Structure 1
């Protein structure tokens, strides 16, 4: 089980936009989907490149390099060329801070 880390303020997150937080070991993409906060690894599991610059279509992110698609709620890969799911993380809101559960 990981440890929750403060990665953003609630006001940093906008519906349909990706906010990227840097941690010691991870880059994490965060976005709002209605009242839900989604957090996911900022990498395409197909080639390891940043996925945060891709298009966000509801709860699906499209990799800007090879068009692999992932569900950012579940991490499930939705189309090739990726075959490995995207790591997603639990989130919680404490006051006006967004915390994400990460493993070192």
Structure 2
């Protein structure tokens, strides 16, 4: 048998954190959107932020897709670990009942 353990609480926490990050990335575009020369002070700075915003949008979309996938994987893993743990506990309880009632088990 394997001596592997899973910290299900930490896995769930990671999934929730990734979901929050996903929401933030999805909701926030270029932070300089709508800011013009009057705010930024220089036309070349406005253009630089615009270029950054276009590039960031492409990378942000890819990143949010990957974050969402990872969050779902972690949520599924935590749920699966809990289901397996429950099934194993039920199987062990059944074995214990059989052993104590004399219907099997080691002699």
TM class by shorter-chain length? under 0.3
Instruction: Name the TM-score, length of structure 2 as normaliser.
Output: 0.23
The normalised TM-score by structure 1 is 0.24
Greater strand proportion: 1
Larger proportion of helix: 2
Structure whose CA Rg is larger = 2
